[in-house]
Amino acid sequence: MIRYALACEHGHEFEGWFGSSEAFDGQQADNQIECPLCGSRAVRKQIMAPAVAGTKRTPAEPRGKARMMMQAMGELRRHVEETFDDVGDAFASEARAIHDGRSEARGIYGQASPKEVRALVEDGVPVAPLPPKPPTKTELN
């Protein structure tokens, strides 16, 4: 896995994980990468120092604040999956129905297209992305 520091045309900074540099190039060419804050697909790699590991060493485990952040994101995701309703690809319509009072107020999660998310945000419906699943040890190596 490769982690890239990314930025959109509006200066929003975020990161993305890719199976290889070719995977990033292919997804970027197909306009599949977008800013999680504004939905812009004009995304570029930022300059970052490479993590170089010798052939006899295993990659270092995340330390300090990085480990704490990954643990907190994993706990948040686990909490959402255990206590919120998974509404699948009906997320946008159900979030709007809850916001408008047409459906029971409760925590939900699911999938929505970037276009649906932008429309929800523009209409004042509070939404946030679910943190990604933490990588397994095999994905880190």
For residues 111-128, average pLDDT: 93
Q: How far is CA 39 from CA 30, 32, 117, 134, 136, in A?
A: 15, 11, 9, 23, 28
Higher-confidence residue of 30 and 63: namely 30
Residue 53 has pLDDT above 90, yes or no: no
Give CA–CA dist 137/141, Å, rounded. 6
Q: What is the pLDDT of residue 74?
A: 87
Give CA–CA dist 140/66, Å, rounded. 14
Helix boundaries (H) for the chain:
21-29, 64-83, 91-100, 114-122, 137-140
Residue 141 has pLDDT above 70, yes or no: no
Contact 139, 20 (CB under 8 A): no
Q: What is the pLDDT of residue 110?
A: 94
Q: What is the pLDDT of residue 139?
A: 62
Q: What is the pLDDT of residue 47?
A: 79
Q: What is the pLDDT of residue 66?
A: 79
Residue 55 has pLDDT above 80, yes or no: no
Residue 133 corresponds to which amino acid? K
Residue found by looking up tokens 């159900």 in the block: 94
**DSSP letter at 109?**
E
